[in-house]
Structure 1
Amino acid sequence: MHQKHLFVVGLDEFNRQRLESLRGAEHYRFHGVIDPAEVYETEIFPIAEMLERATRALEAFDGPIDAIVGYMDFPVSTMLPILCERFGTRTTSLESLLQCEHKYWSRRVQREVIPDFIPAFTAFDPFDDDALARIGEAGLYIPFFVKPIKSSGSRLGFLIDSPETFYLAIAQLREQIGLIADPFNTVLEHARLPPDIAAVDGHFCMAEEIIGGWQCTVEGYVFQGEVVSYGIVDSLRYPQVLSFFHYRYPSGLPGHVQEKMTELTRTVMTHIGYDNAAFNIEYYWDEVQGRIWLLEINTRISQSHCDLFEKVDGVSHQQVTIDLALGQRPDMPSRQGEFPMAAKFFYRVFFVDAVVTRVPGEAEIAALEAEFPGTLIALQVAAGQRLSTLPEQDSYSYALAHVWMGARDETQLLANYDSLASRLGFEFDDIRG
């Protein structure tokens, strides 16, 4: 069996080690395409130039190109179908991917098959001075939620509870939306779009009815037309705010709710025509109203969940991405890991801004990881850094560290995290609360 060559867009050393521990990895050789700093450490994405550099690097490779993959959101996710088409490797079509990632187009196709499980919505131009009135004409009234047509994480998402908060959000959107809108429009130029979708480009936003409840993510894939959901991860927020506290696996949702989410997932992904690629879908379960809401579709595995699946099931679900890219049915185990439960915690501060004057040292981190077996701590800031320079943050807080932990149950998990978090020695100056 010859060694297969897999090219990973934005490959870093942390994920290389994970990939090399997958089932069958002894037969694979992983190559990086595009420096990881260009997709992790910046908010400037020159997509056209990145695609050309990736193309030149792949063309220069002296050997077979067996797969081109990624595990990141924008811009990586949207580059993959373009590169895969150029080099004849496997993934879903660009048009099916955009029916997930272009939030307006996605809501339109969702409405065709699961209209009772999505909120009321409309697209609007944030540069239109009459935008608020036009949203009202479409039947949406304050309060509602605003987000860009294409975003990453929770960036530039706003809860609108008054005209004042709308206009404050509009000011930020006008200033910052181009960072993703311009490169996203470059991707749209590669696709065949219906005229009414083409008219709503990356500079537009969505206004949506407020939905909420118990948030979770269905991780899945489509292999040769078959939609498979293999795990549900809960997304738990800090009290009274929109910022995530931790992701937890496996889900604590009632069985009948999980089954319905799996059914909805199969319906919508089949309708879109998504195929031979991984995805995840975020849902809410409103227990009071007895309703399930589809929040959004992401065209990748969640990188944040890799360690959770490894701890609980025995292998990172990057296994799914690699197997699909090689044309194989994913070889994903279940409940073969070291821990019955696992979580990724976000250690946050809720400042407007501040300068970090101290972060935990290597010895401190090593001691904490040793005290709680299975724990990984990844700092997101450095001493001397101003918090407002951190990329990919939500609109309400800053994540200073990511902490992955395993435990026997939820009680032990939360107790261990509280103990660890109390000893993470961050210090700040010039705090703006």
Structure 2
Amino acid sequence: MTNVFVVGLDPGNLALLRGSFPRNYSFHPLFGKSEVMPASADFPALLEEGHRRLDEFGGPIDAIVGYWDFPGTSLVPALCTDYGVPGPRLEPVIKCEHKYWSRLEQRKAADAHPKFGLVDLAGDPGLPPGLSFPVWLKPVKSYSSVLAFHVADPAELARATAEIRQGIEAVGKSFDAVLSGLELPPEIAVAGGRACLAEEEIRGVQATAEGYCYHGEPHVYGVIDSVHYPGRPSFLRYQYPSRLPAPIQRRIIDVSARVIRQIGLDSTAFNIEYFWDRDEDQLNILEINPRISQSHAQLFRMVDGLPNHHCMVRLALGEDPEMPRRRGSHAVAAKWFLRAFADGVVRSCPTEQDIARIRREMPEATVDVAVREGMRLSELTVQDSYSYELATCCLGARDEAELIDKFHRCAELLPFTFEDREGAPVPLI
């Protein structure tokens, strides 16, 4: 058996892993999803527990992988080093994860980033030199757009910094524990893991490059569009393949390779989020993630024939991933997000019978419902600052028009109802 230990293993991703590899691959839950999803989890305690579980295994340890954000992204390189299996070094991973450090490295490699600077959370908040409103304000380490705020004036800046100051400890304390084990440049040592970054607002269409670095050579195997709800910062869908012009995709691939080389990230997958401003023809990096995006896995499976988990595991075994291209059963695929933009109590949500009906009409569909009857939407964790995720639908189609029609049909077949505090119905959007 080839023993692969997964940090944050969950049933949906386990099914994708088992469907991508022969039966002699055994996927072990080093940690379950619930153990590593809170980014506030105690990193030193998790690392110690990871050692204990691996030491108790008794058999060969062939690979250690993960596809969730911090702390999983830091646990994987630390454990790979300790157990002598292929994997990235911790320092380049943290260069990606620490938003300020990442920007400093990006600046050395390419002119593809917004203006940025640190904001003093301890004193009266003000914009860093060279920046003007509007800006985005965010902790140097966060997840899923939590505590990220669009700020248009000093009053909004004061409100956002107050909220960030109150919530930054949850992730920052654990992230500081990781930083304490590294030799940091002076500017990163001073900032630490509980700092706040202001960035010039960047506009345009959003896309993500998925790739990997093997033996020091970066490769991008797919570009995915990130489409927002009209007039809102929340995602409506991820769509693959990208509709961006070929020259822009080539620029994305070139910038990705230069930045990954500069950071020194190797023996791992990565994804890099971009904005492209059509009017200014300006390409800007939003952020770099030193892992696959498991949100894109079904899209690669439907279009290319294998999920990006294939890339993750092959690299973790020290092998060239050799990702397939356009060998799937659909020409285009998307992961759709059904959202609510106001708080409320869930009074009804889709049943297994509702989801089964979708599968009868669209056999390729994967539907995950994130809420349950009786819960308040504000109780959901890992949400962006502007919406609540109700469900996701992964769908494949012959073209974009059919893809959109399929989503509208899915939305019709997923019956959600909500009430506000006074018992009045709440609209979905």
Q: Normalising by structure 2, report the TM-score.
A: 0.96
**2: distance between equivalents of 1:350 and 1:299?**
30
Of the three residues 107, 119, 122, the one matched with 1:124 is 119
**1: distance between equivalents of 2:6 and 2:413?**
36
**Runs of 4 or more above 4 Å deviation:** none
Q: What amino acid maps onto 1:119 in structure 2?
A: P
**2: distance between equivalents of 1:226 and 1:26?**
30
1:35-114 to 2 correspondences below 5 Å: 35-40=32-37, 42=38, 44-114=40-110
Structure 1 residue 431: deviation in Å? 5.2
Structure 1 residue 430: deviation in Å? 2.4
Residue in 2 that maps onto 1:375: 365
Q: Deviations over 1:75-96 (max 9, x none)?
A: 1111111111111111111111
Secondary structure of the structure 1 residue equivalent to 2:76: helix
Residue in 2 that maps onto 1:19: 17
Secondary structure of the structure 2 residue equivalent to 1:34: strand
- When residues 408 and 431 of structure 1 are mapped into structure 2, their CA distance, relative to the original with a 3 A threshold, is farther
Q: What amino acid maps onto 1:12 in structure 2?
A: D
Of the three residues 341, 350, 356, the one matched with 1:360 is 350
Residue in 2 that maps onto 1:157: 148
**2: distance between equivalents of 1:286 and 1:264?**
16
Does the CA contact (< 8 Å) of 1:95 and 1:193 recur in 2? no
Does the CA contact (< 8 Å) of 2:40 and 2:173 recur in 1? no
Secondary structure of the structure 2 residue equivalent to 1:203: coil
Does the CA contact (< 8 Å) of 1:79 and 1:187 recur in 2? no
Q: Deviations over 1:17-63 (max 9, x none)?
A: 1111114x3231111112221224x4541211111111100011111
Across the aligned residues of Structure 1 and Structure 2, the Cα RMSD in angstroms comes to 1.3
Does the CA contact (< 8 Å) of 1:305 and 1:344 recur in 2? yes
* Residue 144 (str. 1) matches residue 135 (str. 2): yes
1:30-429 to 2 correspondences below 5 Å: 30-40=27-37, 42=38, 44-114=40-110, 116-126=111-121, 128-132=122-126, 135-136=127-128, 138-351=129-342, 353-429=343-419
Q: What amino acid maps onto 1:117 in structure 2?
A: A
**1: distance between equivalents of 2:17 and 2:148?**
32
Q: Deviations over 1:117-170 (max 9, x none)?
A: 1111001232x23221xx24x211111111110111111111101112112211
Secondary structure of the structure 1 residue equivalent to 2:118: strand
Structure 1 residue 422: deviation in Å? 2.4
- Unpaired runs of 5+ residues, structure 1, are none
Does the CA contact (< 8 Å) of 2:39 and 2:71 recur in 1? no
Secondary structure of the structure 1 residue equivalent to 2:117: strand
Secondary structure of the structure 2 residue equivalent to 1:26: coil
Secondary structure of the structure 1 residue equivalent to 2:68: coil
Residue in 2 that maps onto 1:8: 6
**1: distance between equivalents of 2:13 and 2:384?**
24
**2: distance between equivalents of 1:172 and 1:385?**
24
Does the CA contact (< 8 Å) of 1:43 and 1:391 recur in 2? no
**1: distance between equivalents of 2:123 and 2:14?**
48
Structure 1 residue 261: deviation in Å? 0.6
**1: distance between equivalents of 2:10 and 2:390?**
20
Does the CA contact (< 8 Å) of 1:277 and 1:324 recur in 2? yes
Q: Deviations over 1:323-355 (max 9, x none)?
A: 00000000311101110000000000000x211
Structure 1 residue 303: deviation in Å? 0.6
Does the CA contact (< 8 Å) of 2:125 and 2:157 recur in 1? no
Secondary structure of the structure 2 residue equivalent to 1:428: strand
Secondary structure of the structure 2 residue equivalent to 1:10: strand
- When residues 431 and 320 of structure 1 are mapped into structure 2, their CA distance, relative to the original with a 3 A threshold, is farther
**1: distance between equivalents of 2:180 and 2:373?**
41
- Unpaired runs of 5+ residues, structure 2, are none
Secondary structure of the structure 2 residue equivalent to 1:383: coil
Structure 1 residue 301: deviation in Å? 0.4
Q: What amino acid maps onto 1:204 in structure 2?
A: A
Q: What amino acid maps onto 1:291 in structure 2?
A: Q
Deviates more, 1:324-333 or 1:190-199: 190-199
Deviates more, 1:263-272 or 1:194-203: 194-203
Secondary structure of the structure 2 residue equivalent to 1:122: strand
Secondary structure of the structure 1 residue equivalent to 2:407: helix
Q: What amino acid maps onto 1:319 in structure 2?
A: H
Q: Deviations over 1:387-424 (max 9, x none)?
A: 11111101110010011000111111111111221231
Deviates more, 1:83-92 or 1:298-307: 83-92
**2: distance between equivalents of 1:22 and 1:125?**
47
Q: Normalising by structure 1, report the TM-score.
A: 0.95
